[in-house]
Amino acid sequence: MPLFTANYPASEPGKVTLLSTPERTGAPRNYTGKGVVIAFVDAGFYAHPDLEGRVLIHVDATNEHIVEDHPFDTAHDFSWHGQMTSVIAAGDGRLSGGRYRGIASDSQLVLIKVMNERYEVKEGDILRGLRWILDHYHRYHINIVNLSVGGDFSSDDPHHPIYEAIRALTTAGIIVIAAAGNRGTQEMVPPASAPEAITVGGIDDHNSLDRALWKPYHSNYGKAYDGTSKPDISAPAMWIASPILPTTRVAQEALLLAPLLKSGDTRLIKRALREGRAEFGIKRRGLFYHDEKVHAILQERIHAHKIVDAYYQHVDGTSVATPIVTSIVAQMLEAKPDLTPAAIRIILTATADPLPDVSHERQGAGVINPADAIAAILKLSTSPTRPNES
């Protein structure tokens, strides 16, 4: 029987070859977001081990009765998306032995759940989270807001409440970073269409450092209400390591299936069949006869769950690219804390690397280049200061 394989590019039987975000972006390892506070507005969250000790507060903004310090140690389906974004940006990678560490692994986090009671995230829900940040950013010294969520309809109204909230946050010196969307259409919706937001599109780097292989992801693109072209910048949006939500069925299956990627030992296969036969839909006969059909079933489950190892899977989308940009901005603020949102935008776009044969409207200034961005910051003798927050 052939060995089991993962389904990301450049995978090798018996090895874990998925690049980490520091590797694929070339982010300097001596900046880890220390002293920076990132607020995530998302569907829901889970207290993942990779974030242990760095979550300042978890806020449940499901409705107007907002609950602060709400427990989030139970895994629900809606917990997955916010767990993904926060850990990709700021996880310390402890469940991977440090391999899948986020770029901003020393940053502190404020987590704001905005999925409503109908299990949706609508513009009103996003706005509720943004208004909570406006009321409390002084209290938690929030520097960056990550918005891997999208609104309902495009809007050219400069007085749209989400636009006004993002404008107020930017005026206060807070950098707002938003996902462009994944439909590949020429349409931008709030918050991505806010001119003040740094809007993030995606690339598919094929899990490779060879730029000749890099292609654009199917990100949304278009204009903000003032005519500003969006997205502003692009970042890796495919093949990104993300933690599997603990205690779920996927997590249970991954514990059985991941060892098969490292070894063809029949004892591991028998254990997977014995403990997961019912979930895998394998008849009892499969416990004793590991034939091609059984092998195909196990291989299909590995691919369906996008398993990288026992605790991580690979994910995609501009929701993923956005926290990568967020984590790089955290590095920039660690290097020079008084950078304004305008200065951050200028440095990011000036140091980006455009993909050849891809229009500006599809990729913005190009692919984010953290090493050059940090180098540019270190060359600055002076920089614009943040607004007086006294």
* Digit-coded pLDDT (tens) for 194-208: 999 999 999 999 999
Residue 213 lies in a domain: yes
Residue 385 lies in a domain: no
Residue 8 lies in a domain: no
Same domain, 238 and 253: no
Same domain, 258 and 222: no
Give the confidence band of 389 by pLDDT, cuts at 50, 70, 90: very low
Whether the predicted pLDDT of 351 surpasses 80: yes
Contacts of 32 (CB under 8 A, 6+ apart): 103, 104, 105, 106, 107, 331, 334
Give the confidence band of 136 by pLDDT, cuts at 50, 70, 90: very high
Please give the average per-residue pLDDT across 173-192, as a whole number: 97
Domain holding 204, by residue range, is 21-243+313-379
Tell which residue, 215, 201, 207, has the closest CA to residue 357.
Answer: 215
Looking at residue 273, its pLDDT comes to: 78
Give the confidence band of 281 by pLDDT, cuts at 50, 70, 90: low
Whether the predicted pLDDT of 381 surpasses 60: no
> What whole-number distance in Å separates Cα of residue 340 and Cα of residue 202?
24
Same domain, 182 and 215: yes
Total domain count for the chain? 2
Same domain, 133 and 269: no
* % of the chain with per-residue pLDDT over 70: 94
Residue 4 lies in a domain: no
Residue 2 lies in a domain: no
> What whole-number distance in Å separates Cα of residue 114 and Cα of residue 40?
10
The residue out of 304, 323, 349 marking a domain boundary is 304
Same domain, 117 and 216: yes
Give the confidence band of 265 by pLDDT, cuts at 50, 70, 90: confident
Looking at residue 210, its pLDDT comes to: 97
More reliable by pLDDT, 1 or 76: 76
Whether the predicted pLDDT of 288 surpasses 60: no
- Return the CATH number at 54: 3.40.50.200
Least confident of 13-27, 250-264, 305-319, 369-383: 369-383
Looking at residue 269, its pLDDT comes to: 79
* Mean pLDDT for the chain overall: 93
Same domain, 324 and 296: no
Residue 6 lies in a domain: no
Residue 278 lies in a domain: yes
Residue in the structure block whose two tokens are 């059909």: 293
Same domain, 261 and 368: no
Spatial contact of 331 and 31, defined as CB atoms under 8 Å apart: yes
Same domain, 231 and 187: yes
Whether the predicted pLDDT of 387 surpasses 70: no
Looking at residue 63, its pLDDT comes to: 93
Residue 390 lies in a domain: no
Same domain, 69 and 168: yes
Whether the predicted pLDDT of 110 surpasses 50: yes
- Residue 5 exposure: Cα atoms within 13 Å on the Cβ side: 9
Residue type for position 241: A
Same domain, 115 and 132: yes
Whether the predicted pLDDT of 383 surpasses 50: no
Same domain, 256 and 113: no
Same domain, 148 and 42: yes
